[in-house]
Each structure stands twice: as structure tokens, then as C-alpha cells.
């Protein structure tokens, strides 16, 4: 099995809500966790868009009922109150959570690439 096929198969096992890793990553061009991360970032893979007021409100009720975290993200990004909506807040929070969930996989992905490199030596 080719290296890229092994990488593609492995990346399919990584489950992160709202992230399709294989859509964002070209297995022929990655050789480390940092490469995978950069590829996802380059392809806006961490961007999660929650549309419709009801869906956004439901998401916020579960993940940030006080709106404290989502408003902090908006503030940090320089988004002013006149540009805020429930969809914007929910999308910002979901995007942050997607990135954080992926980052929890760093050790697993690094270990995979180390093992793959060792097998090829």
C-alpha cells in the first residue's frame, strides 16, 4: 500500500465534529501533524457555519447559554455588536470547538506519522 493511501485511511479514522479531514488534506502532501493542520487551515476546514436562527439558538443553548464565550471570541476578532447575530455567534463558537477538538488528536496523528516513517526506513 502506498504512503498516501495509508495516510488517507488513517485520516478517515480521525473523527472531529464538523470537520472532513480528507476533504481538506491532500495525503500526497502531508508528512506530519503540522502539515495536516496547515492543510486544514489553508482550506478553511475549521470554519463551521451554522445557519438559521433556530439552529443557532439551539447550538448556543447547549454550548454557551450565557453567550460569554461566543461574545469573547467575537470581541477578540474585532466583530462589533452591529455585526452580531445568533448565527454569527454560533458559527464562531462551533469553529473554535472544531479546532480545539482536532488539536486533541495531535498525539495520535504524530504517533501515526512517526510509525509510518519508522516502517519505511
pLDDT tens for 18-56 read: 999 999 999 999 999 999 999 999 999 999 999 999 999
CA dist 25 and 32 (Å) reads: 12
Structural domain range at position 70: 3-120
Q: Give me the pLDDT at residue 62, please.
A: 97
Q: Which residues, other chains included, contact 63 with Cβ-Cβ below 8 Å and sequence gap of 6+?
A: 69, 93, 94, 97
What is the pTM (predicted TM-score) of this model?
Answer: 0.90
CA dist 38 and 30 (Å) reads: 9
What is the number of domains present in the chain?
A: 1
For the chain, what is the mean pLDDT?
Answer: 95
Phi, psi of 31 (to 5 degrees): -135, 10
Amino acid at each position: 500500500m502506498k504512503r498516501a493511501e495509508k495516510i488517507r485511511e488513517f485520516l478517515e479514522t480521525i473523527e472531529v465534529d464538523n470537520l472532513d479531514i480528507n476533504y481538506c488534506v491532500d495525503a500526497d502532501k502531508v508528512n506530519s501533524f503540522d502539515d495536516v493542520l496547515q492543510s486544514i487551515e489553508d482550506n478553511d476546514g475549521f470554519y463551521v457555519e451554522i445557519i438559521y436562527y433556530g439552529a443557532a439558538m439551539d447550538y448556543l443553548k447547549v454550548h454557551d447559554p450565557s453567550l460569554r464565550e461566543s461574545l469573547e471570541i467575537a470581541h477578540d476578532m474585532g466583530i462589533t455588536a452591529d455585526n452580531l447575530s445568533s448565527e454569527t455567534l454560533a458559527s464562531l463558537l462551533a469553529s473554535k470547538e472544531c479546532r480545539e477538538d482536532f488539536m486533541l488528536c495531535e498525539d495520535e496523528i504524530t504517533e501515526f506519522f512517526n510509525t509510518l516513517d519508522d516502517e519505511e526506513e
